[in-house]
Chains A and B, each alone.
Chain A
Amino acid sequence: DAGVIQSPRHEVTEMGQEVTLRCKPISGHNSLFWYRQTMMRGLELLIYFNNNVPIDDSGMPEDRFSAKMPNASFSTLKIQPSEPRDSAVYFCASSLGMPNTEAFFGQGTRLTVV
């Protein structure tokens, strides 16, 4: 298996533009997590899906952020409009549905909003 695949690896965009980050989880995994990593705040959970259904989105910063999981093999995280403070590394992770199973992380998308 190729692991969790995220695209793009790097994204530079201007303030106010829409940004879409993509994630393909490991085949057979039915839990998916989106995290944001910054120096100041560490690794923050944004949203958690189980069986394609959002279970916990309390970490989504504000209405500018939205996430979807239309099927078991694809998820998107959208920011519109983007702001410089959104600059961070965004990680997607997936796991089997049992809570005692470890999550596997993608390589991350480094987002820079100028």
Chain B
Amino acid sequence: AQSVAQPEDQVNVAEGNPLTVKCTYSVSGNPYLFWYVQYPNRGLQFLLKYITGDNLVKGSYGFEAEFNKSQTSFHLKKPSALVSDSALYFCAVRDQAGTALIFGKGTTLSVSS
């Protein structure tokens, strides 16, 4: 069965600095990988996904993620953090057989001004 690990419960970064939120996955075969963001009292919002092709994927709000097959990782990145980026971030994986979308436990990103 597929699984996702987000090793950091919280990431703290100063505004303007680059940020990275880590994600590693386990799946049979090639993965489909997703990042979502959740603001307080809201549902999850889709940020970006990796399906195939270029290992660097660009998404909404200036976020990007790098797929690394050998390290089974899909880290979320942003060159310059904003205070408004503060939220809960989830990584998710699905296999090509179309099993359910499985999420990591989430990482709280806190950006200070």
Contacts and interface: CB of A to CB of B under 8 A. Distances in A.
21 contacts: A4-B43, A33-B101, A35-B103, A42-B104, A45-B100, A48-B99, A48-B100, A50-B98, A55-B100, A91-B43, A91-B44, A93-B44, A98-B98, A99-B94, A99-B95, A100-B32, A103-B34, A104-B46, A105-B45, A107-B43, A108-B42
Given A56-B99, A56-B100, A100 B105 contact: no
A110 B104 CA distance: 21
A43 interface: yes
10 tightest A-B contacts by CB?
Answer: A105-B43, A42-B105, A99-B98, A48-B100, A43-B103, A105-B44, A102-B46, A100-B51, A100-B32, A107-B43
A57 to B, nearest CB: 10
Q: Among A50, A55, A99, find the residue whose CB has the most chain B CB atoms closer than 10 A.
A: A99
Interface in A67-104: 91, 93, 95, 97-100, 102-104
Contacts of B100: 33, 45, 48, 55-56
A106 interface: yes
Contacts of B97: 99
Interface residues of A, number: 24
Contact of B106 (A43, A93, A100): A43
Interface of A: 4, 33, 35, 42-43, 45, 48, 50, 55-56, 91, 93, 95, 97-100, 102-108
Nearest to A91: B43
A4 B90 CA distance: 19
A53 B40 CA distance: 32
Nearest to A59: B100
Contacts of A43: 44, 90, 103, 105-106
Contacts of A42: 103-106
